[in-house]
Structure 1
Amino acid sequence: MTSPRIGVYPGTFDPITLGHLDIIRRGTRLVDTLVIGVTTNPSKSPMFSLEERMAMVEREVADLPGNIEVVSFDALLMDFAASQDASVIVRGLRAVADFEYEYQMAGMNQQINDDIETVFLMADVSLQPIASRLVKEIARYGGPIHKFVTPKVAEEIAEKVGGERA
């Protein structure tokens, strides 16, 4: 009997976007269990706390098919992946610029632990321009974000930026 194939999809998910959800849906077809690793990243100045992001991701993936777990982490990705018994890191790509960064990261990660493979998934063409950073910027200026996030996430962002502008 082979052991289950576990994949890790890491990110800050600040906020989780339709692009993230596309990669999650497709990633679940590649592994038996997909662990969504919600990480702290102080350099990104998150809009949502870790607890808020965890709750947001858990809610948004609750009805998706596949075996999905949501776990927070504050460690090297490869250490986190090893702690989850993962054999695959799932990364989403939107553009060539993403590939250059992700390619470098995959190389470094392979140097740390070459038992864990990195798999790149291209975001759906209609979702490729979506970036959490841009969604937050559009929202801060009162622009429409409904094409980039679910209605509930849009509501949570509106609550945050409403408070920022007040």
Structure 2
Amino acid sequence: MTPRTALYAGSFDPLTLGHLDVVRAGARLCDILVVAVGRHATKQPVLTHDARVALIRAEAGPVVQAAGAVLRVESFSGLAVTAARDVGATLILRGLRGATDLDDEMSMAGMNAAMAPDLQTVFVPASPGTRFVTATLVRQIAAMGGDVSPFVTPGVARALREAMTGRG
């Protein structure tokens, strides 16, 4: 039997507790969860690509393993559907925080289905405690010297502090 592979794509700048919610739920739906870290020439991330990959392996690895799945972390720079095909995924995971996300994600799922009808988009609702968490807000709080610990793991908080002080 072919293992069921799911792709969860994003910038993960930084990896938040909301992202880990999606990882936790997604790992229960597949045998292999591929977290695909985007590389976009037009974006200037706070954390380097290598730092984001390392944090995902460190923080999401135990979560995926506890669910009985295997974690792979890959890079991509094009379309998510192309990345999904490249890794042999049949599922694309997307997190939903609320109604605004649903509207945006439904449009994206429709476009993805038109380009890749063999891929199924699966929406994972955010837990009540993480519905308000966005990577953008976490970056803004960190940039202003605020405490991001309620929104990220200790390892991610440390990496953000180091990046903001020029040591990351």
Q: TM-score range by the shorter chain?
A: over 0.9
SS of residue paired to 1:75:
coil
Alignment of 1:3-42 (within 5 A): 3-42=2-41
Per-residue CA deviation, residues 105-148 of structure 1 (Å, 9 max, x unaligned), is 10100110100000000011101111111001011112211100
In structure 2, how many angstroms separate the alpha carbons of the residues matched to 1:92 and 1:50? 21
TM-score of the aligned structures, taking structure 2 as reference length: 0.92
Structure 2 unmatched ranges of 5 or more: none
Aligned partner of 1:148 in structure 2 is: 151
One-letter code aligned to 1:92: G
In structure 2, how many angstroms separate the alpha carbons of the residues matched to 1:79 and 1:150? 30
TM-score of the aligned structures, taking structure 1 as reference length: 0.93
Aligned partner of 1:132 in structure 2 is: 135
Alignment of 1:88-107 (within 5 A): 88-107=91-110
In structure 2, how many angstroms separate the alpha carbons of the residues matched to 1:41 and 1:98? 21
One-letter code aligned to 2:70: N
Aligned partner of 2:78 in structure 1 is: 75
Aligned partner of 2:54 in structure 1 is: 55
Please list every run of at least 4 consecutive aligned residues from structure 1 whose deviation after the TM superposition is greater than 2 angstroms.
41-45
SS of residue paired to 2:165:
helix
Matched pairs, number:
163
Per-residue CA deviation, residues 57-107 of structure 1 (Å, 9 max, x unaligned), is 111123222211111111211111011111100000112111111111101
CA-based RMSD of the aligned residues comes to: 1.4
SS of residue paired to 2:2:
coil
Structure 1 unmatched ranges of 5 or more: none
In percent, how many aligned pairs have the same letter?
A: 39
Shift of the 43–123 alpha-carbon distance from structure 1 to 2, 3 Å rule, reads farther
